[in-house]
Chain A
Amino acid sequence: MMVTDAHASPHKIEWQLGRVQAVVAETDRVKSIILEPMSWLGHWPGQHVDIRLTADDGYQAERSYSIASPPEDKLLTITVERVKEGEVSPYLLDELRVGDHLEFRGPIGRYFVWTRSLRGPICLIAGGAGITPLMSMLRHRERSLDRIPAYLIYSARSLPDVIYRDELDGMADRDKGLRLVYALTREQPRDWPGHRGRVDETLLANNCFPREQNPTFYVCGPTGFVEGISSMLVTMGYEPLSIKTERFGPSGG
């Protein structure tokens, strides 16, 4: 894996200020924040940034947010889900406005990453806001000429809870190399033809590349979701080292 084993950079990843260029409501509980960095040398899809807030008494809070935009974009997009009783997400969702400056640093992380140089096929499996880093991968993939075969299985509570739905549907419509499958766990439209309930082994078996094709898995979501999916994939015979996971703790921010 060339990308992940790249030689460690000795330079500190400096804090910088990003100007908020836009705030986009994605769902009732989720917004995307689009930042203009002061300087940015690019990132790999799947990487994250750290956000730091400072109160007037000097108190600071930090959280990590995955980057949703592809490396081809000059602006950085992070997508934030409201965490009940959270300290940072309510601020980002309710208080932050266009024109504000947000302190952040990045990009961070060299394992849960995919670029087209790593080839494929890739199976992306998202639970809720876990779609964010996978969206960066899909946006990156869409901007390349060689559309590496990809599956996305996206589990959400209901259709209105699906983040980036129009963009995802558009991508899948335009591109035969991408298969998009939603699993709606709590509420489904009456005529819903797709999967109802949690992602199970049958759904995975029908929507993952076979073992002979050596797919790489990127599984991102809440802890229970990732634990469940990754152990199902191991049971199905996929090589554990081909399953890359990123878990969102239940207590984020």
Chain B
Amino acid sequence: MNQNEPPVSRGFKSKRPTSVKTRLPPGQYLTTDFPVLSAGPTPDIRAAEWKLGLQLGGSILGSWTWEEFEALPQTTIKTDIHCVTKWTKLDTTWQGVTFDDLLKAVGLQEPPEGFVMAHCDGGYTTNVPVADLIAGQGMIATRCEGLPIAPSHGGPARLLVAHLYFWKSAKWLRRLRFMAKDEPGFWESRGYHNYGNPWREQRYDGD
């Protein structure tokens, strides 16, 4: 079998219109609903008890209650999202606070170099390079399609890094921790790719 050319599956025909194909990363299919993927139960998080922290080494650079977080500058973005389980959803709209604005809020002109570990309720973690969060690429989202994010989709607040597979957009976000050295998060230490670029189909280790 030629490694570069996968064999044609006898009798398999593409049903996808070409216009959509160009927006689908390899191996992805289009969905119009919004499937839920999580490793465990959906936690019950009340906004009144919610807090977000930004941490560098042993020190907390900033922390926000729900009210304080809502008072930060708000940004709305429209983007496609790609889940490693193969669905892609086009033109989703998110509102929240960009990573850039979060850094400004704690008085950082330049972000620390390296990586960020996102820590979530329920113990979930995921690692993202700082370079993938700045310049408008990363956001802590609190609304989807104009509505508060449903608990099963990560509400009250989730990370949004839409150019990477969606497991990087951690649900139920509570803390962002800068790390000089990269460390794998939950799925990254369980066989999934460390970076997760959908356009290069980096689903699993070694892809």
> Which A residues are closer than 8 A to B by beta carbons?
4-5, 8-13, 15, 17, 50, 52-57, 59-64, 87, 91, 95, 100-103, 108-112, 223, 227, 230-231, 233-234, 240-241, 243-245, 247, 249-251, 253
Q: Which residues of B contact A251 (CB under 8 A)?
A: 31-33, 35, 87
Q: A182 → chain B, closest Cβ, in Å? A: 24
The answer to whether A223 and B36 touch across the interface, beta carbons within 8 angstroms, is: yes
The answer to whether B41 and A13 touch across the interface, beta carbons within 8 angstroms, is: no
State whether A249 and B191 are in contact (beta carbons under 8 Å apart), knowing that A13-B205, A91-B9 are contacts in the complex: no
Considering the chains assembled together, what is the distance between the CA atoms of A4 and B13 in angstroms? 38
B57: interface (CB < 8 Å): no
Q: Which residue of chain B lies nearest to A240 when distances are taken between CB atoms in the complex?
A: B41
B200: interface (CB < 8 Å): no
Q: Which residues of B contact A59 (CB under 8 A)?
A: 14, 16, 21
B181: interface (CB < 8 Å): no
B39: interface (CB < 8 Å): yes
Q: Which residues of A contact B26 (CB under 8 A)?
A: 60
Q: A188 → chain B, closest Cβ, in Å? A: 29
Q: Which residues of B contact A112 (CB under 8 A)?
A: 39
State whether A53 and B12 are in contact (beta carbons under 8 Å apart), knowing that A64-B86, A108-B204, A111-B39 are contacts in the complex: yes
Closest 7 CB pairs of A and B: A249-B35, A12-B206, A59-B14, A230-B41, A110-B190, A62-B27, A55-B14
The answer to whether B27 and A11 touch across the interface, beta carbons within 8 angstroms, is: no
The answer to whether A249 and B31 touch across the interface, beta carbons within 8 angstroms, is: yes
The answer to whether A250 and B33 touch across the interface, beta carbons within 8 angstroms, is: yes
State whether A91 and B11 are in contact (beta carbons under 8 Å apart), knowing that A62-B86, A253-B29, A253-B86 are contacts in the complex: yes
Q: Which residues of A contact B188 (CB under 8 A)?
A: 8
State whether A245 and B7 are in contact (beta carbons under 8 Å apart), knowing that A55-B13, A62-B86, A253-B29 are contacts in the complex: no
Q: Choose one: A50, A87, A227; the contact of B42 (CB below 8 Å).
A: A227
The answer to whether A245 and B40 touch across the interface, beta carbons within 8 angstroms, is: yes
B1: interface (CB < 8 Å): yes
Q: Which residue of chain B lies nearest to A107 when distances are taken between CB atoms in the complex?
A: B191
The answer to whether B7 and A17 touch across the interface, beta carbons within 8 angstroms, is: yes
Q: Which residue of chain B lies nearest to A233 when distances are taken between CB atoms in the complex?
A: B41
Known: A55-B14, A247-B35. 15 other contacts (CB 8 A): A12-B206, A13-B205, A17-B1, A53-B12, A59-B16, A61-B12, A227-B42, A231-B41, A241-B40, A245-B39, A245-B41, A247-B38, A251-B31, A251-B33, A251-B87
Q: Which residue of chain A lies nearest to B85 when distances are taken between CB atoms in the complex?
A: A64
Please name 16 pairs of A and B residues whose Cβ atoms are closer than 8 Å in the assembled complex, sorted by A: A11-B206, A12-B206, A15-B6, A53-B12, A61-B14, A91-B9, A103-B7, A108-B204, A111-B187, A227-B42, A230-B40, A230-B41, A234-B41, A240-B43, A249-B36, A253-B86
Considering the chains assembled together, what is the distance between the CA atoms of A214 and B205 in angstroms? 32
- For B31, B40, B186, B205, the residue with the greatest tally of chain A CB atoms inside 10 Å of its CB is B40
Q: Which residues of B contact A57 (CB under 8 A)?
A: 14
State whether A8 and B41 are in contact (beta carbons under 8 Å apart), knowing that A56-B8, A87-B15, A102-B9 are contacts in the complex: no
State whether A53 and B9 are in contact (beta carbons under 8 Å apart), knowing that A227-B152, A253-B29 are contacts in the complex: yes
Q: Which residues of B contact A62 (CB under 8 A)?
A: 27-29, 86
- For A63, A91, A251, the residue with the greatest tally of chain B CB atoms inside 10 Å of its CB is A251
Considering the chains assembled together, what is the distance between the CA atoms of A247 and B83 in angstroms? 13
Q: A65 → chain B, closest Cβ, in Å? A: 11
Q: Which residues of A contact B184 (CB under 8 A)?
A: 8
Considering the chains assembled together, what is the distance between the CA atoms of A130 and B10 in angstroms? 28
Considering the chains assembled together, what is the distance between the CA atoms of A240 and B29 in angstroms? 32
Considering the chains assembled together, what is the distance between the CA atoms of A61 and B88 in angstroms? 12
Q: Which residue of chain A lies nearest to B205 when distances are taken between CB atoms in the complex?
A: A8
The answer to whether B35 and A223 touch across the interface, beta carbons within 8 angstroms, is: yes
Q: Which residues of B contact A103 (CB under 8 A)?
A: 6-7, 9
Q: Which residues of B contact A56 (CB under 8 A)?
A: 8
